[in-house]
Structure 1
Amino acid sequence: MLLNHNRKIKKFFAALAGALALTACSLTDTSSVSNKQAQVNSDKKQSNVLIIMFDDMRFDTFSYRNGPVNTPNIDNLAAQSVRFDNAMTTTGLCSPSRAAFFTGRWGHKTGLDDNLDIYRTRLFELNPNEGGLIRRAKDAGFYTGFVGKWHLGHQGVALRGADYISDDHEHHAKRFQRTWVPYSTESDILAYKEGKLGKNGEKTSYYQTLPGTYETSHTAHLVHQAEEMMKQAKNSGKPFFGVASFHQPHPPYRVPEPYASMFDPNKIKLPPNFMASNEGKPLGQNRVLWPWHDVSHMTEMDWRKAHSFYYGAIAMVDRVVGELIQSAKENGLYEDLTIVLVGDQGSMLGEHGLFDKMPYAYDELMRIPLLIKAPGTEPKIVTRQVSLIDVAPTLGELLSLPNDGDVDGHSLLPLMEKGDVAEAGQPDTALYAYEWYNGAWYGIKALRTPEFKFVWNPGESVDEFYDLKNDPYEMTNLIKSEKHKAQIAEHVKMLDAELARTEDPSLEKFRIHFRDILK
């Protein structure tokens, strides 16, 4: 299938502009925008921007998606936004997905393709030369702020020139600290296997009732800091570009009352692929890569409780969104405010017998919520496949931010303005990659279309192919199906085209593996 012609043209001119910008100045210089460009940006009315990011937040839990949790604030935002109902992350892992989000580039270009500061990883930070949205907004004259989880290297936000930075440890600790090793989690799992439980009889490495209330929680603390960020932004007299990034609902699912007991575990509806057999799937999916991936001790009631605490976390997340929007209104920022609500990736809750995230491409991990509310843009639902990596070029175009180099994503503004028809006749695909997991290489590449998903596992002898229409829970691997031979070949060719477009270094290996199809 032919490449997306419009995207190729955009990429060419983006790369050309990036090359000219790099010739003129250093990316590490926050004053890299010319005085003339800065004056142009300051002379016109700029939209304020608030990115609200959540960690490991699935796409399917909210009431606006007919999910099990009543989320009135998120529902109200969705009703005012462009809903991207088939948005995908780039990687089911925190650091590389966030690097792609802020830069619009894949890990093989930024150098960040694994988690940071975690047991066995080889990486410590996103190269400061990768200024991303924070530096681009700063250079364009915005008051920039960042609150909460960054996970791209200690002091990384300060190195990019942010005006307001929250008091989280990672923003102020020394660079290149020793990695965190999960000794306590390993001890917990061993105890669970012996029948020992944590406080309140809970498996606290999976679900836990936190002491205190919402107001005494770290989540509320971050909300208050985000409110202060918006207050200072208003007083600055500059357009505002801020990020409020929350650790919720990342596992372990830990929430205070009333969220801890808001959902009855006995009434939880478990999905059809709950604890489903992984027969015919890659061997690596059943391995313990982090202590809590050993779920052999988990009973069905444990899984139900994990679900109920996750749902409680989503209810708390909804409160967060409501409070942030109210604060934006009180600070006079809302009228011209573009809001991006996004999750960095999903998470597994017993589907296929898996917990948290590992190197695989199941929809529960791959799909994310993405809402963009922009002034003057009519609300609508977009069903085409889009990616987390598309947000940076979208905001770059929307805000006329200075270019900072090659971009792999594409602007979503045409879809925001015209809906699905804007890309009618173009390939409806999303690319996903899982290169590393905490120091272990997998090299997974996946291509998703509305009907099928093809997953290349170069470190395994088994690839995957799923019929998403007839098997939405991805229980049957059809990679050896003669009936689907033509569809598999088509998806191999589309993935080949995407690897070529993004200049992926695995392209040659891919073409050797699939030479019989690609010849």
Structure 2
Amino acid sequence: MVADHQAHAHHWPIAWNTPLKRRLAREGCNFASARTVLPICSPARASMLTGLYPHAHGITENDGRFGGRAGLDPGDRLVHQPFREAGYRCGWFGKWHVDNHRSAADYGFEGFSLPGYGYPYATPCYRRYLEEAGLPSPVAEIEMSGESGLAVGTRIALADADDWFDYESGVARLDAPAETHEAFFLSRLAENWLESLGTDPFFVRIDPWGPHPPYVVAAPWRDMLDPNAVGLSPNFRFELEGRPSHHRRYRDFWRRTLDLDTEGWRRMVARALEHVALVEAALLRVVETIDRIGRSDSTLVVFTADHGDAVGSNGGVCNKGGLMVEETMRIPLLMRGPGVRPGTTCNRPVSNLDIPPTILRMCGIDEQPPMHGRSLMELMGEPGAAWRSGFMAQHYGLHEPVPQRAWYAGDWKLVVQEGGFVELYDLDDDPHEMRNLASDEEHRNSLEGLWAGLRDAMTETGDLDRRLAAVLSGPPSR
């Protein structure tokens, strides 16, 4: 189960107080230091399908806008194919978003998916779902306007809209029962499919379109949180000293677009967290169905996200942009099933890149295609097992091309971007990344050690992007 954005960073404890994460943490393993391989959707999703870094599978942006591949190809070897060859039924329900012209069905999946990003509310399958369940056609009422400039109070009949998700940064109330929300629609489709399988082995992905702006929330989650009780990030008013210039450009874009006061930002953060809770409640129904049909003892359940969500942080931004900040990098990653010790927490450097080799190995699938990810099986059996010394993450930019690489080791984080701008943070002392230590002589040894780790990771994985050649030549001289 893969969410989209996930407001998961440490300054919002309520982001953890959600039903699916609570359940899986109690019954399985919580990888509390998990981070995304690249904090935008398509590259991260392609990595979860291939086990490869974006530079290797080629999807480095959402639509190939800066020279990367625009999508996967049916000839690519994806993680579900060894399962299908071993006799598993393979299902996909929800957002595909790794190919602008094909859906998951073109890659051999059963279920429900759409080409490109997709818009579920206008599909015949969704209308059929409403009819069979006796549900009304949903209407979204704009609570906070975003990039589209739609007036507050504007009502949108979702089933009649063409692609309302292009309206990216606002908040809306779903004026209909919660079961009309796309997340509950997908969970019902997945539940029906699971119930139809009998004893057939299965591989299934459920990928809701949320949480993601526009934050569309239905009762009883709507107004679950008092915006005045929602604390904004400590770096909300940070003027981004010591940050690269593209961070300030991104912040300035949102200041011009939203023009929110503090109360408005609190309300947006509250709706983002309510959206998280709604989506998790829908996905929890799938877990409960697995238990009810008697398959829990033989099923590995995984919950994660494409990436995080920077809403209400880093000087006042939404979404993710080209930022490799902890708000966009941190993700949930929890697993439950055979071979997973209940109630365990692992704080080692892991990623959604590690999911493909993990599920292949834990399910006893012999074929292990070449992958950059590493199986988490040992860590679930013994959290103190030997593991990688650090983890590399990538970025190529979203609204503008900004090639970057990050290296995590212990409590330290290094980010290097094209042009040579360097960020160095001690996340234990500075979890909100407000003191860039890259130029501090006191931390030169840490910088050099992290740089060597990043250089080695790039070399070992064949990540030789000429725009980041400076990384391979070593840190700036003293």
TM-score range, shorter chain: 0.7 to 0.9
Of the structure 1 ranges 280-289 and 470-479, higher mean CA displacement relative to structure 2 is found in 280-289
Corresponding position of 1:449: 409
Of the structure 1 ranges 288-297 and 132-141, higher mean CA displacement relative to structure 2 is found in 288-297
Q: Give 1:133-282 correspondences, 5 Å limit.
A: 133-153=79-99, 154-162=101-109, 164-166=110-112, 168=114, 170=116, 188-189=146-147, 191=149, 197-199=152-154, 205-234=169-198, 237-282=199-244
CA distance in 2, matches of 1:131, 1:411: 18
More helix by share: 1
Q: Give 1:307-386 correspondences, 5 Å limit.
A: 307-353=269-315, 354-379=317-342, 380-386=344-350
Q: Which amino acid aligns with 2:39?
A: G
Structure 2 vs 1, CA of residues 190 and 372 (structure 1 numbering), >3 Å: closer, same or farther? closer
CA distance in 1, matches of 2:20, 2:235: 30
Structure 2 vs 1, CA of residues 402 and 129 (structure 1 numbering), >3 Å: closer, same or farther? farther
CA distance in 1, matches of 2:392, 2:102: 30
User: How far off its partner does 1:433 sit?
Assistant: 0.4
User: How far off its partner does 1:55 sit?
Assistant: 0.5
Note if 1:398 corresponds to 2:362: yes
Corresponding position of 1:463: 422
Structure 2 vs 1, CA of residues 395 and 477 (structure 1 numbering), >3 Å: closer, same or farther? same
Deviations 1:137-166 (A, max 9, x none): 21221110000011111434223212x221
CA distance in 2, matches of 1:170, 1:431: 27
Structure 2 vs 1, CA of residues 479 and 516 (structure 1 numbering), >3 Å: closer, same or farther? closer
Q: Give 1:105-120 correspondences, 5 Å limit.
A: 105-116=52-63
5+ unaligned residues in a row in structure 2: which ranges? 120-144, 156-166
User: How far off its partner does 1:210 sit?
Assistant: 1.6
CA contact (8 A) 1:89 1:366 kept: yes
Corresponding position of 2:130: none
User: How far off its partner does 1:384 sit?
Assistant: 0.7
User: How far off its partner does 1:514 sit?
Assistant: 2.2
Deviations 1:89-115 (A, max 9, x none): 001100000111111101221111110
5+ unaligned residues in a row in structure 1: which ranges? 1-51, 174-186
Corresponding position of 1:59: 8
Q: Which amino acid aligns with 2:43?
A: P
Corresponding position of 1:429: 390
Structure 2 SS opposite 1:446: strand
CA distance in 2, matches of 1:250, 1:463: 30
Of the structure 1 ranges 475-484 and 153-162, higher mean CA displacement relative to structure 2 is found in 153-162
TM superposition score normalised by structure 1: 0.78
Structure 1 SS opposite 2:396: strand
User: How far off its partner does 1:387 sit?
Assistant: 1.2
Structure 2 vs 1, CA of residues 502 and 339 (structure 1 numbering), >3 Å: closer, same or farther? same
Of the structure 1 ranges 488-497 and 203-212, higher mean CA displacement relative to structure 2 is found in 203-212
CA distance in 2, matches of 1:451, 1:371: 21
Structure 2 vs 1, CA of residues 349 and 171 (structure 1 numbering), >3 Å: closer, same or farther? closer
CA contact (8 A) 1:59 1:369 kept: yes
* Sequence identity (%): 26
Corresponding position of 2:72: 126
Note if 1:81 corresponds to 2:28: yes
Q: How many residues are matched?
A: 439
Structure 1 SS opposite 2:382: helix
Structure 2 vs 1, CA of residues 168 and 221 (structure 1 numbering), >3 Å: closer, same or farther? farther
Structure 2 vs 1, CA of residues 461 and 515 (structure 1 numbering), >3 Å: closer, same or farther? closer
CA distance in 2, matches of 1:260, 1:220: 15
Corresponding position of 2:46: 99
CA contact (8 A) 1:91 1:434 kept: yes
CA contact (8 A) 1:54 1:247 kept: yes
Deviations 1:224-253 (A, max 9, x none): 11112212333xx42111011111111121
Corresponding position of 1:389: 353
Structure 2 SS opposite 1:135: helix
Corresponding position of 1:47: none
User: How far off its partner does 1:190 sit?
Assistant: 7.2
User: How far off its partner does 1:330 sit?
Assistant: 2.7
Structure 2 vs 1, CA of residues 329 and 191 (structure 1 numbering), >3 Å: closer, same or farther? closer
Note if 1:473 corresponds to 2:432: yes
User: How far off its partner does 1:428 sit?
Assistant: 3.2
Deviations 1:378-419 (A, max 9, x none): 121111111111111111211233536421111111111111
Structure 2 SS opposite 1:368: coil
